[in-house]
Structure 1
Amino acid sequence: MKMSTKGRYALEIIVDLAMNSTPERLESLKNIAQRRNLSEKYLERIIKALKQRGLVESVRGAYGGYCLTVPCEDITVKNVLTAVEGELTPVHCLTKESDCGVSCDLCPTRNTWGSMWKTITNTVENITIADILKRVDEINDEP
């Protein structure tokens, strides 16, 4: 399973905001794009989805910008990814009716897909932005 650029960039935006902004010191999307070497236009679309999910807030104006609305300890990787990707199911038939021609009860691969989904979900539900920041600190402290 491959994550789209939207998912990857959304996680980068959230981590960048966690590192570089506070409600008192907002961060511009332009600065995030420059630090991450990403397209500001593309990030605008992604941050809109993050705002709709209540993870990010924005203030307009000369001193405007973005910051997180939720503490890093309370934002999971799953929160971020589902905000821009939707469900993280490897195949649609795990959550919706499928027209593949095989009954779900008789599908020889459905349990395998379900096991993969459970593993992915358990992983992204248990990693917070605070965990990612701890790893960044560890990397920066290494000689």
Structure 2
Amino acid sequence: MKISTKGRYGLRILLDIALYRIGNKPRMIREIANNQEISEKYISRLIIELRKAGFVKSVRGANGGYTLTRRPEDISVLEVLEVMEGPIAIVDCTSSAEGICHRKSLCPAQRMWAEINQKIRSAFAAYTLKDLVELYVSNGETVIDYCI
């Protein structure tokens, strides 16, 4: 299992908005792009998915941009990754979709895969956007640059 740039950058976009929400002022795509060193074009594509999922809303006008629709402590890393990447599954038979493997009920390794997958999902669910903001602040970093 590997988290793509879509998942990582989606999380970075939300983190950037959370970090710089001084007075609930909207964050412009240009500001996020400059701070995160991600192209504006790519952010524009990713922010559509974040908006559809209800993480951000757009504010129009000269001082417009994007703001969070929920508090950082109410947004889990698992939620963000699953919006950007799809269901987190280390092997196909651990996803909830039926009919993926006709041997699922007979497979001796399926239980192991399911347990490992649940632990990974639980680990992602245990972190919130607020936790990432606090980690950023406690590190005293000036540029957000992290990998998950």
Shared fold, TM over 0.5: yes
Change in CA separation of 1:33 and 1:124 when aligned onto 2, cut-off 3 Å: same
**Unaligned regions of 5+ residues in structure 2, if any?**
142-148
Q: Please, which of 98, 101, 113 is the counterpart of residue 100 of structure 2?
A: 98
Change in CA separation of 1:72 and 1:6 when aligned onto 2, cut-off 3 Å: same
Per-residue deviation at 1:23? 6.9
For these two proteins, the number of residue pairs brought into alignment is 139
Runs of 4+ in 1 over 3 A off after TM superposition: none
* Residue pairs, 1:1-143, within 5 angstroms: 1-21=1-21, 24-94=24-94, 95-96=96-97, 97-99=99-101, 103-140=103-140
Query: Is the CA contact 1:23–1:68 (under 8 Å) kept in the aligned structure 2?
Result: no
Per-residue deviation at 1:22? 5.2
Change in CA separation of 1:87 and 1:23 when aligned onto 2, cut-off 3 Å: farther
Per-residue deviation at 1:8? 0.2
For normalisation by structure 1, the TM-score amounts to: 0.89
**Unaligned regions of 5+ residues in structure 1, if any?**
none
AA aligned opposite 1:64: G
Distance 2:55 2:117 in 1: 24
Change in CA separation of 1:67 and 1:43 when aligned onto 2, cut-off 3 Å: same
For normalisation by structure 2, the TM-score amounts to: 0.86
Distance 1:90 1:40 in 2: 31
Query: In structure 2, the residue corresponding to 1:63 is in which secondary structure?
Result: coil
Distance 1:29 1:2 in 2: 26
AA aligned opposite 1:14: L
Give the share of equivalent positions with the same residue, in percent: 36
Query: In structure 1, the residue corresponding to 2:105 is in which secondary structure?
Result: helix
